[in-house]
Structure formats: structure tokens, C-alpha cells
Amino acid sequence: MTLTGKMLIGQHATAGNREAIQAINPATDSALQPAYLGGNGEHVAQACALAWAAFDVYRETSLEVRATFLETIAAHIEALGDELIDRAVAETGLPRPRIQGERGRTCGQLRTFARTVRAGEWLDVRVDHAQPQRQPLPRPDLRQRHIAVGPVAVFGASNFPLAFSVAGGDTASALAAGCPVVVKAHGAHPGTSELVGRAVAQAVKACGLPEGVFSLLYGSGREVGIALVTDPRIKAVGFTGSRSGGLALIQAAQARPEPIPVYAEMSSINPVYLFPAALAARAEALAQGFVASLTQGAGQFCTNPGLVIAVQGPALDRFISAASGLLPNCAAQTMLTPGIASAYTSGIDTLTGHAEVVAQGSATEGPNQGQAHLFVTQATAFLSNEHLQAEVFGAASLVVVCANNEEVRRVSEHLEGQLTATLHMDDDDVPSARALLPVLERKAGRLLVNGWPTGVEVCDAMVHGGPFPATSDSRSTSVGTAAIQRFLRPVCYQDFPDALLPDALQQGNPLRLRRLLDGQREA
């Protein structure tokens, strides 16, 4: 398939007329063809008009039609074959197996949402039958279902060019909910975005859906991004990226005449707690696991372990020493973009001014190389210096040495909201872990024992979310089947004749849902 450099406004390939976006192969710093001319407000308006026109039809498609659509997208992405893999590798500098795995994750995610759509639990159907004899007043017949909120704007992320981008988790969950999607492609991987976008558009056509169900735009955040978030036909936003980027979108969404929710996943340093018994038993093994998690994918994960918290002592010294011994064997890796590489370098420079560098990875030739860094500081310094909990996106981590459990708790209470918190512990650590748990539950969306936070499973129980600034809405997750709930709202139907009720609410329960029926869950 030849890349066209064009946007997709519904089924129409449309060239932009603003400044060109061109991918850079970060491994070589060379530009990749074609150039993608940015769109403008008019293109945004066209895409939103189509999305709006599609909305009432798309949101009422049957569960089967919508599930099949998601599966068809997955099949069309797989049909892109090596072309997609080659392009994504070239645009991101990520290793080929990583991109192949991510494609599997992306298509698996679409199929998981297809299953979720079919199961229909997201409709959350509740039926309270009329009680005409009730005193002092009769009760009417009341039935609730959930419907899609409206067209959703999705902003692709740089670090997962497939799984958090054009047909990633935000798009999959919004489409599953019944929301048309307008994607603003991330400028770092426009070719990957075009390939995937065309796969989605083909699936729209193959399934006979209105073309406005999906559009793909290119352009600047300031012009296309803000126009998208402020278009009155857009009713929710999904975003994964920087804190500043997320906050700008939230501000724009709040300033609308009709404010809308923005689900922004922004920044997290993912504290890892090393409890004394675990540390004493296996400081060196922990260091090995830690360094592997830290340096995976050049550390470019939202769940990268950027903070290690432990009580001082010989066991912690062993951990630091072992990690410091391993780090020089870790070769620098190509980062996603020149911008990310230079932000990483300047983040490292800032941290170096505030904490002690105890180890770093080895340098490699070539542009945009990210060298792992390990820092150490004392809890007292951490508690008084906000620079020390700023996210440095990449393979940088800071060990915070605490005098005792009380200081561990103070450091924990001082943390901003996080996506994850990890506990390395043995049986003897259970009391300390139990005491800390309430703090961690308040601070993070996912808590792990004896694992590493990188690696986010797509399943029912996953929470990839957490209190601000990890995300803008701690009540939600952006990964896993519960992500669909972000794009739904409840509607109640009172005393409706059966013929006018949507299928999900009809007396005969044609969708065979397990309803909450007069206060009882159906078996």
C-alpha cells in the first residue's frame, strides 16, 4: 500500500494545507517520506460533522454488528502485514519484536472489546417495575440503560504507536461504547497512523457503517488539537501524553460552553517499595529485575519504575550496588523522537543538580540515544524538593533512602497520584506492607506485589489509571474492558410502551442480559 500523506475524513483521503509533519527515523535522524500536510479547523469541522451525522445510527447498531466491526478492524490491521511493522519500526526506533508484540496486543484488545460489547454488561440494565397500588403514590415503571456519550476525540500517544494510538485502547473502547471517533494522529508516527487509519476506514466500509464513525486528522496540537476538543459535536476526549499537553486539553474542554470530560493519562513515576525482609533475602535479584524493568524500551513507559523507596541499611546498599553494577552493561537505546531524547537529557541534567548519580548505562553511537541513569537521595531531600518527583520520561530512576518506616510513610503521603505502586516483600514484611497499603490505595490505580510495573495486561480487572496527575480522572481506567465506561452515560425510560423501548430494556429481554430486576440481579 502506498502511503498518501493524506488525512482520512470519513472515507475521503484529504490533503491538509498547513505545515508538513514528517516522521524522523530516530535511529538515523533521517526524514521518512511522505510528508503529511497538517489539517486546519475546517478539516476538524468536516470530520466532526460526519461523526455527528453517524452518531445516532452507530450508537444503536446491534451488539453483534458493533462487535463484528471491532473484529474486522483487527483483521484489517493484521492484513497490513510487514508493511505496518516496517513502518512502525522506522518511525519509532523500537525493536521489531516489540512492534510485533504490540500489534498482537492491539488486535487482541479490539477482540476483547468485541467480547465485552457482546456480553452487554456495560449497558448496566436496571428495571424497576411499576407498583400501581403503592401508597401514598404509585411507582411508575422505570428502566435504565447506558448509551454512548457522543463523538470522541482521541489523541495518539508516541510511545505505543499501535496500542495507544489510532486503533489503540481509547479508540477501541470508544467505538465499543458506540461513539464515533476522530483521531488526531501523533506527529511522530504519521505513516503508521495512516496505515492503521486506512484499516479502520476499510472496516467501516466493509461493515456498512456510516463513514463518520472514524476519521483521522494530522496537524498541530494548537490548531487541530484545540479545534477538535472545542468542537461542540465532540463529547469526550481520550489522551495519553505529557502533563502539559493533557492540562492544555483539559483547560480547553472546561472552557467550552458545554464542558466535556477529558480522560488524560499524563505522568507517573511508579514508586517501587523494597521491604526489609525481601531486600535482605534477594537484594541482587531485585536489582536485576529492577534494571530490566527500568531499561525496557528505553524506559519509555508510563509505568516505568522511576522511584525506589526503602529503609536504609546494608541490604539497601547491596541493592544500590548491584543495580549500579548492572547499569553500565545496559547499552543506551534509541529513543522515540529527537524531542523525547532531548527532553530526557534535560530531565537528567535537572535531576543531577538535585540528587546523586550512582550509575549510568553505557553510551552508544548514533542519534537520540537514551542512557539509563540511577540516582540516590535521602528522604528528607525528597520531601522538600519537588524537582525530585517530576517525571523524567525514559530510563531514569531515583532511590529514596528512608531512615525508618515512618519516613517511608511520609515519603508515600508526599507523592502525587500514580498509575502504579509496587511492593517487594516477604512474609516477614506483611505487617509493614499492610500498614502502608491504605496510603498506596489512595495514591495509585494498580498495586503490585513482587513484580514490576511495566507490562499492562488487557483484561477485565486491569486499572491503568490513578489519582491526578497520573490521570485527569481517577474514576476510570484507559486499559482493560472497564475503559468502555468512560464513554457511556445512563438514560432512564419511564412508563415507556414496549414498542418504543430500546431492545436492551424490552420486557421480553431479547438481548438476554442479566438485568438488575426489582433490586435483584438476574441469574
Q: How far is the CB of 330 from a second copy (least distance, A)?
A: 21
Q: Which of 205, 318, 354, 442 binds a second copy (CB under 8 A)?
A: 442
Q: Which of 103, 417, 424, 432 binds a second copy (CB under 8 A)?
A: 417
Q: How far is the CB of 22 from a second copy (least distance, A)?
A: 34
Judged by CB under 8 A, the number of residues near a second copy is 76
Q: Does residue 449 bind a second copy (CB under 8 A)?
A: yes
Of the pair 149, 237, the CB lying nearest a second copy is at 149
**CB contact at 8 A, 178 and 147:** yes
Q: Which of 33, 365, 495, 512 binds a second copy (CB under 8 A)?
A: 495
SS3 percent helix, strand, coil of the chain, rounded to 5, is 45, 20, 35
Closest CA to 6 of 225, 262, 193, 260: 193
Q: Which of 331, 490, 507, 510 binds a second copy (CB under 8 A)?
A: 490
Q: Does residue 144 bind a second copy (CB under 8 A)?
A: yes
Q: How far is the CB of 139 from a second copy (least distance, A)?
A: 6
Catalytic residue among 107, 302, 330, 402: 302
Q: Which of 447, 478, 484, 504 binds a second copy (CB under 8 A)?
A: 447
Q: How many CA atoms lie within 13 A of 24 on its CB side?
A: 16
Angle subtended at Cα 108 by Cα 107 and Cα 110, rounded to the nearest 5 degrees: 65
Tell me which residues in 222-241 interact with a second copy (CB under 8 A). none
The Cα 74–Cα 111 span in angstroms is 7
Active site residue 48: no
**CB contact at 8 A, 124 and 151:** no
Of the pair 312, 474, the CB lying nearest a second copy is at 474
Stretch that binds a second copy, among 77-85, 136-144, 318-326, 338-346 (CB under 8 A): 136-144
Q: Which of 132, 208, 353, 497 binds a second copy (CB under 8 A)?
A: 497
Of the pair 371, 432, the CB lying nearest a second copy is at 432
Q: How far is the CB of 193 from a second copy (least distance, A)?
A: 26
Q: Is 433 strand, coil or helix?
A: helix
The Cα 283–Cα 216 span in angstroms is 48
Q: Does residue 409 bind a second copy (CB under 8 A)?
A: no
Q: Does residue 140 bind a second copy (CB under 8 A)?
A: yes
Closest CA to 383 of 403, 353, 357: 403
Of the pair 331, 430, the CB lying nearest a second copy is at 430
Closest CA to 434 of 454, 411, 409: 409
Tell me which residues in 145-164 interact with a second copy (CB under 8 A). 147, 149-150
Of the pair 15, 459, the CB lying nearest a second copy is at 459
Q: How far is the CB of 518 from a second copy (least distance, A)?
A: 8
Q: How far is the CB of 202 from a second copy (least distance, A)?
A: 27
Report the 3 state secondary structure along 7-33.
EEECCEEECCCEEEECCEECCCCEECC
Q: Does residue 190 bind a second copy (CB under 8 A)?
A: no
Q: Give the DSSP H or E segment for 201.
A: helix 190-206
For residue 458, give the DSSP letter. Answer: -
Q: How many CA atoms lie within 13 A of 481 on its CB side?
A: 16
Angle between helix 96-119 and 82-92 (nearest 10):
120
Q: Which of 261, 276, 361, 370 binds a second copy (CB under 8 A)?
A: 261
Active site residue 302: yes
The residues that bridge with 369 in the sheet, in sequence order, are: 334
Q: Which of 17, 352, 494, 507 binds a second copy (CB under 8 A)?
A: 494
The Cα 85–Cα 96 span in angstroms is 7
Q: Following CA atoms 309, 314, 320, 322 in sequence, which dihedral angle do they give, to the nearest 10 degrees?
A: -140
Q: Does residue 385 bind a second copy (CB under 8 A)?
A: no
Q: Kindly write out the interface string for residues 25-54 of this chain, putting x where it contacts a second copy by CB under 8 A and - elsewhere.
A: ------------------------------
Place of cell 477529558: 262
Q: Does residue 64 bind a second copy (CB under 8 A)?
A: no
Q: Is the peptide bond before 469 cis (omega within 30 degrees of 0)?
A: yes
Q: How far is the CB of 289 from a second copy (least distance, A)?
A: 13
Q: How far is the CB of 493 from a second copy (least distance, A)?
A: 5
Residue count of the chain: 523
The Cα 190–Cα 53 span in angstroms is 27
Q: How far is the CB of 70 from a second copy (least distance, A)?
A: 16
Tell me which residues in 455-484 interact with a second copy (CB under 8 A). 455, 457, 459-463, 465, 467-469, 472-477, 482
Count CB neighbours of 147 within 10 A.
Answer: 18
Q: Following CA atoms 363, 364, 366, 367 in sequence, which dihedral angle do they give, to the nearest 10 degrees?
A: -40
Q: Which of 17, 62, 254, 352 binds a second copy (CB under 8 A)?
A: 254
Q: Catalytic residues, which ones?
A: 265, 302
